[in-house]
Amino acid sequence: MYFWKYWRDTRRGVFVYLGVLIWIVLFWMYAIYRANRLHNIGGDPLILWAMMVGVTFSFVYMCAIVMGLILGTSNVGSDFAKGTAEFLLTRSRSRRYFVWTGWLTGMAELLSLMIVTGFIVVGATAFATGPVWRRVPSPIRFQVDQDFIDIPKMVLAAVLMAALVFGLTYFMSVLLKSRQRGVIASLGILTAYQAVNVILKDWARISLPSLDLMERAYASETWHLSPQVVMLFWAVLALAFPFAAQVALDRKDI
Amino acid sequence: MTEYAITTAQLAKIYPGVRAVDGLDLRVPRGSIYGFLGRNGAGKTTTIRMLMCLASPTHGSASILGLQWPADRLAILQRVGYLSEKKLLFEAMTGRDLMRFNRPYFPRWSDEAAKRYAERLEIPMDRAFRKLSQGNRTKLCLLLALAQGAELLILDEPTSGLDPVVMDQLLKVLIEDYAGEGRTIFLSSHNLAEVEKVADWVGIIHQGKLLLEAPLEEIRADFRRVAASGNNLPAQPKAQIFSVASSGSFTEYFVRNDAERFAAGLRAQGAAVLETSPLNLEQVFLQLVKKEEPCISGNIGATPAAVSSSI
Amino acid sequence: MFVRVNSASGLPLYLQVESQIKHAVAAGALKQGDALPSVRKMASDLRINPNTVARAYQDLERDGLIRTVPGGGTYVADHVPGLLKTEKMKRLRPYAMQLAVEGTHLRLSPDEIVKLVEDSLDELGVKP
């Protein structure tokens, strides 16, 4: 029943997120409605659709990062801080079970939230623009000016982003036996990584695998790994985090 | 069916600078109520956490209910009910939620037993854990351990922080429902009076080592205080003497066994043996674990009662 | 059935239980054939170890004061234990010695000590 416990621990965060999201979206819809009154949202459906896709994925990425950080702290690590780890880990299951069940439940919650977010935002903007995607010849993969927009790739990138942020926070929370320390460490590592990336780009012309998988730095002159390798690297790392959490927990004295 | 519920062999937990548990050899007979006594920091909780596979030993081994430890960890956890020193459960869950959470982990879980305990212990089952008083929290933790259908209960200071009424309720339920029939209770406690009423066996741990492990009846039958006065009396603990206190020409000996023969030996030396009296558990404990003190001189002519109060 | 034990009194708990049951029988509060509580019930009422109660019951049964029925139930025995008079006297001698020692210590006269015993018998309702 551990996934049930996980859900009980996280449901408030989920509902708050959904509440905030819906509030923002309603406000957004109101703004669009007002804008619609004044200007006609006409124009090139391709550009409109590209904008919608962009906005939707922005929201989805935000969800991945914010909820990845928040959900990533709800695990055995937080039980240590609350003093309930001794109870939990004397239930007759392996410690591995608790790590992986938590990870799977958290990932399921996170991905569900991202999907819901995507639908809500698309739905809300479509409220103003109508089903723009019907007026576009190839809505899944298309090109606007110099940008190639590949929706499946963006979905994959979003999922990887979510898995990375969630996984990193999850691992840190378990390792450091605390929610706060887990989140702070995770944010710290992400920020430091970005900082190092920027520095290396400027000084040594090296691009580390970017967290923003859509980044067009791949077209620039810095040394970089090919996008496929980067994706693979992130995927492996995302799965490595729960393994690392398992190892960390197995070896620990509670 | 093994004879012992718990055995340990040179179990040790050594941190840099601290030997929390230092070569412990426990033998807890099946079906007994075993009181595990020791001062704060003596190593009781560390030992218990190792037995529950929460911490790993530096060296040594153990066997619980005949199972391999810690290899058969999951089987052990299924058959052992645990009450941790912290007595904390998930704060947002109610008693009912916690029952629902706990159920799948234990094949012998009984909802009916849980309801019965909830009634007898008067636990509000629909209130969130964080809103429960200390007494109710402990009772709820115990309920979960009892309803689990465990063969062995390991309780870490179950009555600490409880008011006398709750303590009484707990003891009643433990004895009525649990003791005997091959089920074992291993409890650590500071409450010596209560352990004395309830325990079959007693183990005293001090600075990580087991000072004494014996049936309580044997302690009552054999341990004696011998008060004597005279010259050239032995001044240091040795052989059966485990503690000595002297004041002026009066000396108190605390002996483990053969008190009569010891007293006769003193008389043969020309000493006057004033009294041989039995010891209760608290006195035995205090004499075993107190720091070694040099002989206190002065108080010449003091009565033995004054001697013991000056310790 | 009101048995109470005092763990601080220095007298072993099982002896306290035995002596209180004997007292009750002697005073007529427990009659022949009356049922005693089960070991577990008495232990939980007193909050003491069931083995302690079991030992008291065993001793009493060995002395012939109570008997257990196969299938459960413990009852006060139907007949007086068949001990020889000399055995009975031997049993009581330590108690008599203790009384004598204490009495002498307190400087009571032999008559006063005997009166104490007679008064106790009176209280129990045992007629001379």
> pLDDT tens digits for A89-118?
999 999 999 999 999 999 999 999 999 999
Contact predicate C77/C70, CB 8 Å: no
Mean per-residue pLDDT for B245-270? 84
CA angle B123, B127, B133 (to 5 degrees): 60
In which residue are the tokens 């990425």 written?
Answer: A61
8 Å CB contact of B198 and C12: no
Domain segments of chain C as ranges: 13-76, 85-124
Q: Is there contact between B and C if contact means ≥3 C-beta pairs under 8 Å?
A: yes
Contact predicate B96/B141, CB 8 Å: no
Instruction: Count B/C contacts: CB-CB distance under 8 Å.
Output: 48
Overall size of chain B counted in residues: 311
8 Å CB contact of B175 and C13: no
Q: What is the pLDDT of residue A108?
A: 95
**Nearest of B5, B157, B1 to residue B87 by alpha carbon:** B157
Between B55, B73, B89, which is nearest A87 by CB? B89
Contact predicate B287/B244, CB 8 Å: no
8 Å CB contact of B175 and C49: yes
Best to test chain C binding among B173, B198, B219, B222 (most C CBs inside 10 Å): B198
Residue C113 backbone phi and psi in degrees, to 5? -65, -45
pLDDT digits (tens, 9 = 90+) for B194-235: 898 899 999 999 999 999 999 998 888 888 888 888 877 777
**Distance from chain centroid for Cα A155:** 10
Q: Is the pLDDT of residue A44 over 90?
A: no
8 Å CB contact of B176 and C7: no
Find chain B residues with C-beta within 8 A of C49's C-beta.
33, 175, 179, 197-200
In the stretch 86-105 of chain A, residues with CB closer than 8 A to chain B read 86-87, 89-94
8 Å CB contact of A86 and B54: yes
Q: Is A216 on the interface with B (CB under 8 A)?
A: no
- Nearest-CA residue of chain B relative to A88? B89
Confidence at B307, pLDDT banded by 50, 70, 90: very low
8 Å CB contact of A90 and B104: no
Q: What is the pLDDT of residue B214?
A: 93
Q: Which residues neighbour A49 within 8 Å (Cβ) at sequence distance 6 or greater?
A: A132, A133, A135, A136, A139, A142
What H or E segment, with its residue span, contains residue B184?
Answer: strand B184-189
Find chain B residues with C-beta within 8 A of C41's C-beta.
176
Between C10, C12, C40, which is nearest B176 by CB? C40
Find chain B residues with C-beta within 8 A of A15's C-beta.
none
Contact predicate B253/B225, CB 8 Å: yes
Contact predicate B121/B139, CB 8 Å: yes
Q: What is the pLDDT of residue B234?
A: 78
Structure-block tokens of residue B209: 């080592």
Best to test chain A binding among B84, B91, B108, B156 (most A CBs inside 10 Å): B84
- Nearest-CA residue of chain B relative to C49? B198
Between B175, B194, B196, which is nearest C50 by CB? B175
CA separation for the pair B81, B5 (Å, rounded):
13
Confidence at B297, pLDDT banded by 50, 70, 90: very low
Confidence at B294, pLDDT banded by 50, 70, 90: very low
8 Å CB contact of C50 and B278: no
How many CB atoms are located within 10 Å of the residue B20 CB?
A: 20
Confidence at C128, pLDDT banded by 50, 70, 90: low
Mean per-residue pLDDT for B241-270? 84
- Burial of residue A158 (CB within 10 Å: 0-12, 13-18, 19+) is buried
- Nearest-CA residue of chain B relative to C45? B172
ipTM of the complex: 0.85
Q: Which chains touch B (3 or more CB pairs under 8 A)?
A: A, C
Q: Measuring CA to CA, how many Å separate A212 from each of A159, A170, A185, A216?
A: 12, 20, 20, 9
Cross-strand partners of B225: B254, B277
Mean pLDDT over the full length of chain B: 87
Q: What is the pLDDT of residue A117?
A: 94
pLDDT digits (tens, 9 = 90+) for B139-188: 999 999 999 999 999 999 999 889 899 989 889 988 988 776 778 999 99
Q: Measuring CA to CA, how many Å separate A138 from each of A45, A177, C50?
A: 12, 49, 82
pLDDT digits (tens, 9 = 90+) for C20-78: 888 888 777 888 888 899 888 899 888 898 888 999 999 998 888 888 888 778 888 87
A34-38, A159-163, B263-267, C114-118: least confidently modelled range: A34-38
8 Å CB contact of A93 and B105: yes
Confidence at B302, pLDDT banded by 50, 70, 90: very low
> Which ranges of chain B does DSSP label H, i.e. alpha helix?
44-51, 73-79, 95-102, 111-120, 134-147, 164-173, 192-198, 216-222, 259-268, 281-289, 304-309
Q: Is the pLDDT of residue A80 over 50?
A: yes
Instruction: Count A/B contacts: CB-CB distance under 8 Å.
Output: 62
Q: Is the pLDDT of residue B304 over 50?
A: no
Q: What is the pLDDT of residue B310?
A: 39
CA separation for the pair C76, B23 (Å, rounded):
50
Between C8, C13, C47, which is nearest B175 by CB? C47
Is pLDDT larger for residue A241 or for residue A135?
A241
CA of C7 vs chain B CAs: smallest distance (Å): 6
The pairing of strands B80-83 and B152-156 is: parallel
Q: Which residues neighbour A62 within 8 Å (Cβ) at sequence distance 6 or greater?
A: none
Q: Is the pLDDT of residue B91 over 50?
A: yes
How many CB atoms are located within 10 Å of the residue B268 CB?
A: 8
Q: Three-class SS of residue B124?
A: coil
Mean per-residue pLDDT for A105-132? 88
Instruction: Give B249's Cβ-side CA count (13 Å radius).
Output: 10
CA separation for the pair A67, A71 (Å, rounded):
6
Quick one: CATH architecture of C13-76?
Orthogonal Bundle (1.10)
